Structure 1
Amino acid sequence: MNILALDLGTSSVRGLVLDADARPLPGALARRRVDPVVHDDGTGVLDGVGYLACLVECLDELAVAGHLRDVELVATSAQWHSVLPLGADGAPLGPVLTWLDTRPHPLPGVAGPADPDGFHQRTGTWWHRCYWSVRLPWLREHTSTPIARFAGLVEYLLGELLDSAPMSISQASGTGLLDLRTLRWDAEACALAGARAGELPELAPMRWRGRLRGEHARRWPQLTDAWWAAPVGDGAASNVGSGCVDPARVAVTVGTSAAVRLVQHLPAGTEPPPLPEGLWRYRVDHDHVVTGSAYSSGGNLYAWADRELRLPRGAELDAALARVPPDGGRPANVRFGGDRPPGLAPAGSGELRGLSFGSTAVEMLAGMMRGLCDLVAHDLTVLESTVDKPAEVVLGGGAVAASPWWRQAFAAALAPRPVWYQRNPEIGATGAALIALGRIGDAVELADIGRTDERPSPS
C-alpha cells in the first residue's frame, strides 16, 4: 500500500507518495509555488481558486508519472487558522485570510470573553485577530456579498474534490472556537464570532474517511478506491513527522514560519492540564493535543534577505556563515510579519540594529537567524514548565535542513539540552500519513534523526 500525502502550505502546494511506513518514494513529488499577497497594512491572503488549481496540477503530474497507481490512502497536512467566506453556491466571496494576516480586529463595543483565562484554558486560544472569534465579524464587515458559511482553506479545497469535507478536530482547534475537552464548538467563542446556525463547518467524527467525487475519480482513476483521511494541522503533523510525540521530545520546526511544540496524549473528555498564559494548545486528533508557541518569521527571513541583501549562494553562503559565531551577527527583532498569538505587534515591527558601514549581508542574515533562536529558547523554557523534566529537541523543516549554521545556532541557544535534527524535509507530509494510519506511536522509531552538524542529503 502507498499513501498520497498532501502538504498545503503558505508558500507551496506539495503532493508526494509515501510507502506503508510513511517514507517518501524517490521522485514521487509534485510541487507548485504559491505566492501570498502581503502588504504593509498587514494583509496576508491567498487566492483560493488559484490554490485549488495548483493542487490539481500536482495531482495531474503525479498521475501522468504513474505515481498514484498503488495509492490506497490520502493524508493531508494543512495550515492552521485560515478562513474564507463562501456564498450560497459554495464559491469564495473573497481571498483566504492566512495566519499572516494581521488586519482583523475586534469590532467596537464588543467586550470579549467574560473570563479570559477560562476561555484560554477551554479553547487553548485567546480572543485574538488570528482566530475566528475575531476574524468572522471582521470578514462580515469587509465582505459586500452576504456570506452563507465559512470554511478554512483545506475544507474549501476538499469540498471541491470529495463527496463530503467536514472539518477535522485538528483544524477546528486552530479556529479558536473548539472546546478541547468536549470536542464541540464552544458556545462563548461562537457567540463572540457571531456564528449562526449552518455557518460553521460540520465536525468530522473519529476515523472519518472520504472519497473522490465521480467526476474527479474519472480524472484520476488511480484514486477511485482511495480513502481520504481527515486533514491535520501542519504544526501537529510536523511534530509527528519529527518523532516528537511525547513530553520527552520537543519539536522546533522552521518552514515559512516557525514554532516550538510538544505533544501529549489526552483523549477526548479528559480535562487538559493547566495551560501557561503565553502558550496555545490545539488538537492533533481525538487522542492527542499539541502545546507550544509560533512565530511569523522562519524561512521567510532568509527569503527576504536573499531578495533584498544580495546574499551569496550555496557553498559560498555556507562558507561565509561558518565564519560567524553561532551567537554572532547583527542584533535583530525578527517580527517582520508581526506577532503570532498572543502577541499584538503589527506587521512591520522588524528591526536590524547595530549596523555600520562594515556590516555585511551575511552578518545581517546571521543576526536574524539567531533572533529567532532566542525567541524559541525563551518559549521552550515556558513549555518545559508544563512537564516533569527538560526535553530533547528535534529541529525540523526545510529551512533548518538546508542550513548547517542555523542548526548549530539553535544548538547553542538551546544548550545544554540535546539538540537533534530531522533529516527528512517532508515532516508535515510524513506526520499526516502516520496520523492517518493510526501509527503515531511508531513516529519515534521511524524518524530519521541526526546530529545538528550533519549535512542533509542532496536529495
Structure 2
Amino acid sequence: MSYLGIDFGTSGLRALLVDEDGAPLASAEKHYAARHPHPGWSEQDPADWIAAIDAALDDLARKTPDFADVRGIGVSGHMHGAVLLDAQGKVLRPCILWNDTRSSAQAARLDGLEGMRETSGNIVFPGFTAPKLEWVRTHEPELFDRTAKVLLPAAYVNFYLTGHYVADMSDASGTSWLDVQARDWSDELLTMGGMRRDQMPDLAEGTEPVGQLREALAQRWGLSGKVVVAAGAGDNAAAACGIGAIAEGQGFVSLGTSGVLLGAREGCHPRPDAGLHTFCHAVPGRWVQAGVTLSATDSVNWLSRITGQSPAQMTGALGDVLRPPGQPCFLPYLSGERTPHNDAHIRASLTGLSMATGPEELTQAVLEGVAFSLRDALQSLKAAGAGFETLFAIGGGAASHYWLALIATVLDIPLAKPEGGEFGAALGAARLGQSAASGGDPLALMTPPKIGQIFAPERSLTAAFDTAYEKYRATYPAIKSVQ
C-alpha cells in the first residue's frame, strides 16, 4: 500500500508518494502564479490548483506502478485564503490569498470587538479569512450575497477530491471564526463577522477521513479499491506532522516565502498580545503556536532581482564561516509584518549604508534581518511558556548553511537539518492520509527524521549579535515614525 501527500502553496504544488514506512517512492511538482491586480492585492484562480493537481497525479499514475496502490490521500494547503462558492459549488471570484493586505481596515475593526481575541485565541490579522469576507461584503456586495460556502484552499481541494465540504481544525484556526480551545466554529465569532454556520464547511481533525476519492478521479488515475481522503492540514501544521513536532518542546524554523518559528503545544495557551498564532494542531488534542515574519526567502529573492545574482550566488559569496554583524540594518517588512508588530502598513528599510556597502554586505544584512525577525518570534513564544533545546530547520532557505549558522547564533538554539530524503508538509500530508486510511496512531506515525547536520550557536559572536539585535529592535519605531 502507498499513501499520497499533496502540498500546495502560492507558487506551486508537490505531490509525494510514500510507502507504509514513510519512505518516498515518487514525487511530482507543478507550478502556477499569483496575480496582483492592485497594490497589496494577491489572488489566485482555484482552477489553477486543480489543473496542477490533475497534471501532477497524471504524471505519477503514468510513471509510478506503486501509485495504483494508493489507499490514503492527505492535503496540505496555504492558509487563510477565501474561496467563495455559490449554492451550486461554483467559484464566484479568485481566491484572496494569505499575503493579501487589502482588508487591513476590516481586520482592525474585527480585532477591536469585545471577545474576538479571547475566543479566537488570535489577533485578527489582515491576512486572515474573516476580514476578507468583510471586504467582499463592502466592495462586492452582489458576490457576498451569492456566497453559500466559504472554503479555505485545502478544503476546496478536499471538495474537488471527494465532493464534501470539510476543513480541518488547524486550517480553520486561521479564519477568526473558530474557537481554538473548543475546536469548533464559534457562533459568536461568526455573528461578529456577519457570517452563518451553514456557510462554513464541516470540521474534522486532520487525521480523520473526509470521504472517499470520487469515482471519476479514481478511474482517471487507475486507482482501484477504497481510497480515503483525510481532512489534512494547513501548511504549518502539516510541516509539524512531517518533521515530527507533536510534543511540547518540539518545533522548527521554516525558511520559505514567509519565515515561521513554530512549536507544538500540549495545551492551548493563546498569547495574541505577543503577536503569536495559536492554532489547533492537525493531530487531535494538540495545538501549535507560531511567530511569523512575512518575508523570509522573499527578502532574499527581492535582493536577487536587484543585484542580478541568484540567491545561491549571493549567499555562497559569504563563505562558510559566520561573520560578525554587519553595519547595515535591514527590516524585512516588504509586505508588512505579523509577529510581533501586527502592522500591515510598515515597509522594509535598509539603514547604515556607506560607500563601502556592496552586494555581500547587502546579502548579509538581509539574512541578519530575517534572523532577527525570527528572534522576535522566539521572544513571543517564550512569553507564552514555550521553550526549545533544538529546532529543526526546513524550507528552501535551509539550503544556505551560512544562514542556518547565523539563525542558530541569533536564537542561541542549535538548528538540526534533517538528513536527506523527504520531510515537511508533503510528508506530513501523506502521514495524515495514512492515519485516516489505516486508523493508525498518528503519534506513532509522525516521528522526527534523522538529523543530518547540527548548526550550533557561535558563542564567540553571541554578544555581538545580541547588540545588533537591540539595534534592530530600536529601528522599527524609528522607521514607523516617518512612514
When normalised by structure 1's length, the TM-score is 0.88
Deviation of the 1:276 alpha carbon: 5.7
The equivalent of 1:269 in structure 2 is: none
Instruction: Answer with 218-227 or 47-56: which moved more.
Output: 218-227
- Match runs of 1:114-133 below 5 Å: 114-116=113-115, 119-133=116-130
1:101 Cα deviation from its structure 2 partner:
0.3
Distance 2:110 2:72 in 1: 45
Distance 1:188 1:342 in 2: 26
In structure 2, what is the equivalent of residue 98 of structure 1? 97
Question: C-alpha distance in 2, partners of 1:388/1:197?
Answer: 33
Alpha-carbon shift at residue 113 of structure 1 (Å): 5.2
The gaps in structure 2 that reach 5 residues or longer are 457-483
Aligned counterparts of 2:407 and 2:354: Cα–Cα separation in 1: 26
Partners of 1:68 and 1:223 within 8 A in 2: no
Match of 2:20 in 1: 20
What does residue 457 of structure 1 align with? none
Structure showing the higher helix proportion among its residues? 2
**Mapping for residues 220-369 of structure 1, pairs under 5 Å:** 220-222=221-223, 225-266=226-267, 272-273=268-269, 275=271, 277-278=273-274, 279-285=276-282, 286-311=284-309, 314=312, 317-322=315-320, 325=323, 327-328=325-326, 330-340=328-338, 343-346=341-344, 349-369=347-367
The letter of the residue matching 2:157 is: L
Kept in 2, the 8 Å contact 1:79–1:234? The answer is yes
Change (3 A) 1:443 1:204: closer
Deviation at 1:122, TM superposition (A): 2.7
Determine which of 127, 135, 145 is the counterpart of 2:132. 135
State how far apart, in whole Å, the 1-side matches of 2:56 and 2:187 are. 39
Give me the CA root mean square deviation. Answer: 2.7
Given that 1:105 and 1:138 are in contact with CA atoms closer than 8 Å, whether structure 2 keeps it comes out as: no
Aligned to 2:479: none
Q: Residue 221 of structure 1 aligns to a residue in which SS?
A: coil
Mean Cα deviation higher: 405-414 or 429-438 = 429-438
What amino acid is the match of 2:304?
D
| Distance (Å, rounded) in 1 between the aligned partners of 2:266 and 2:197 | 32
Amino acid at match of 1:61: D
What SS does the corresponding residue of 2:375 show, helix, strand or coil? helix
Q: Hey, what's the Cα distance between the residues in 2 that align with 1:31 and 1:383?
A: 34
Of 95-104 and 153-162, deviating more is 153-162
Indicate if the aligned counterparts of 2:158 and 2:210 stay in contact, CA closer than 8 A. no
Aligned-partner Cα distance in 1 for 2:454–2:107: 49
- Give 3-state SS (helix, strand or coil) of 1:89's partner: coil
- Cα pair 1:161 1:216 within 8 Å, conserved: yes
What amino acid maps onto 1:406 in structure 2?
A: W
Deviations 1:247-267 (A, max 9, x none): 22331111121111111234x
Corresponding residue SS for 1:372: helix
| Equivalent position SS for 1:191 | helix
- SS of aligned partner of 2:195: coil
Question: Relative to structure 1, is the Cα distance of residues 443 and 197 closer, same or farther in structure 2, using a 3 angstrom cutoff?
Answer: closer
DSSP-derived class of the 2:73 partner:
strand
Match of 1:213 in 2: 214
8 Å Cα contact 2:72-2:230 kept in structure 1: yes
CA contact (8 A) 2:117 2:272 kept: no
Cross-structure match for 2:453: 451
Greater displacement, 222-231 / 14-23: 222-231
User: What's the offset of the Cα at 1:207?
Assistant: 2.2
Mark the CA change 1:223 to 1:409 in structure 2 (over 3 Å): closer, same or farther. farther
Contact 2:154 2:234 in 1 (8 A): no
**CA offsets 1:208-264 (integer angstroms, 9 cap, x no match):** 242122221221122652211111111111123223222223311111211111112
- 1:277 partner letter: D
- Displacement of 1:293 in angstroms is 1.0
Normalized against structure 2, the TM-score is what? 0.84
Pairing 1:55-74 to 2, within 5 Å after superposition: 55-66=53-64, 67-74=66-73
CA distance in 2, matches of 1:96, 1:369: 31
1: distance between equivalents of 2:337 and 2:48? 27
Shift of the alpha carbon at 1:39?
6.2
Give the 3 Å change call, closer, same or farther, for CA 69–30 of structure 1 in structure 2: same
Of residues 49-58 and 137-146 in structure 1, the stretch that sits farther from structure 2 once superposed is: 137-146
Q: Sort the Cα spacing of 1:294 and 1:353 in 2 relative to 1 into closer, same or farther, 3 A.
A: same
Q: Relative to 1, partners in 2 of residues 1:273 and 1:112: Cα closer, same or farther, differing over 3 Å?
A: closer
Offset, 1:6: 0.4
Q: Pick which of 228-237 and 136-145 moved more.
A: 136-145
Offset, 1:446? 4.1
Q: CA deviation at 1:129?
A: 1.9
Q: Distance in 2 between matches of 1:169 and 1:317?
A: 38
Aligned length: 443
